[in-house]
């Protein structure tokens, strides 16, 4: 009889303990879910606040513009448009081109920018007119880039003796086309590197004339503009650099030359306000 009683008591204790433990686990699970839901709400609120802050600040510079864009898209497409110095002629390999150096900086060294798909639309020997005539602007548009950095091809316009009036007409056509076809994209214009040749071409214009005229025109239109030419030239003068060390053939940068170009852009994307 005693044995049976003991067995009954043991069964009761085990059963009660199991129910108690099960209830405790369920109660803990409920509490854990509550804490998780609270955490999720707090994180969602933080994310919303962060997005709102980035939206408010996105025109402060290109970095913040890209950070805000990254809240809208999983991948950013960057198109660079221009001549052989945009294609990277003169660099020892693709990693030393200004476009690749800039992309690596944005992806690796800057927080909160999603992966970047770099599309290089640089064409060796092309003037602004040839970009238009050979429908190279269409090549940019079809990729639907988030950002277009347009190098003005002034080295070739100078070399091919394109008039200043035709140069600005071409620039205007290209910008109107890009703005119309890519209304949500950011378009930034830049000039190219300086060169040692200070002589006039066959129509009496120096390379400096093209750059100054284009700068005045672009600024009069209120477009986003980076004066790479002037800053590159200042670097050469202020540091007494030898063009033979930074240009391969008096035109196309070496790795050192592209590094100068990249550092100009790196500074600009961090400080220059965006117009959109």
**253-265: pLDDT as tens digits:** 999 999 999 999 9
Phi, psi of 112 (to 5 degrees): 65, 25
The residue among 79 and 50 whose pLDDT is bigger is 79
Residue 151 CB contacts under 8 Å (≥ 6 apart), including other chains: 80, 81, 82, 83, 85, 86, 122, 190, 191, 192, 228
The predicted-structure confidence for 40-50, as pLDDT tens digits, reads as follows 655 656 667 88
The predicted-structure confidence for 230-251, as pLDDT tens digits, reads as follows 999 999 999 999 999 999 999 9
Q: Are 210 and 157 in contact (CB under 8 A)?
A: yes
The predicted-structure confidence for 161-177, as pLDDT tens digits, reads as follows 999 999 999 999 999 99
The two three-digit tokens of residue 23, written as one number: 């209830």
Give the global pTM. Answer: 0.85
The predicted-structure confidence for 103-137, as pLDDT tens digits, reads as follows 999 999 999 999 999 999 999 999 999 999 999 99
The residue among 21 and 225 whose pLDDT is bigger is 225
- For residue 33, the model assigns a pLDDT of 75
Residue 25: C-alpha distances to residues 20, 31, 269 (Å): 9, 10, 54
């Amino acid at each position: 009889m005693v044995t049976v009683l003991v067995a009954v008591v043991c069964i009761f204790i085990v059963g009660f303990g199991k129910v108690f433990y099960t209830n405790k686990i369920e109660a803990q699970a409920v509490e854990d879910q509550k804490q998780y839901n609270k955490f999720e709400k707090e994180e969602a609120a933080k994310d919303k606040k962060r997005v709102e802050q980035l939206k408010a600040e996105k025109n402060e510079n290109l970095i913040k513009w890209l950070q805000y864009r990254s809240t809208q898209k999983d991948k950013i497409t960057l198109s660079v448009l221009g001549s052989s110095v945009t294609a990277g002629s003169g660099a020892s390999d693709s990693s030393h081109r200004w476009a690749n150096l800039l992309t690596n900086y944005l992806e690796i060294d800057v927080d909160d920018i999603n992966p970047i798909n770099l599309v290089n639309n640089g064409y060796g020997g092309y003037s602004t007119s040839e970009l238009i005539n050979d429908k190279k602007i269409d090549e940019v548009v079809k990729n639907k880039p988030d950002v277009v950095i347009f190098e003005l091809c002034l080295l070739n316009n100078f070399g091919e003796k394109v008039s200043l009036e035709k140069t600005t007409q071409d620039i205007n056509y290209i910008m109107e086309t890009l703005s119309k076809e890519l209304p949500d994209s950011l378009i930034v214009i830049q000039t190219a590197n300086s060169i040692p040749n200070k002589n006039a071409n066959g129509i009496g214009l120096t390379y400096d004339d093209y750059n100054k005229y284009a700068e005045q025109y672009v600024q009069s239109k209120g477009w986003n503009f980076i004066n790479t030419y002037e800053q590159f030239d200042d670097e050469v003068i202020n540091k007494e650099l030898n063009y033979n060390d930074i240009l391969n053939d008096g035109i196309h940068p070496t790795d050192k030359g592209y590094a100068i170009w990249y550092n100009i852009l790196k500074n600009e994307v961090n400080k220059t306000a965006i117009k959109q």
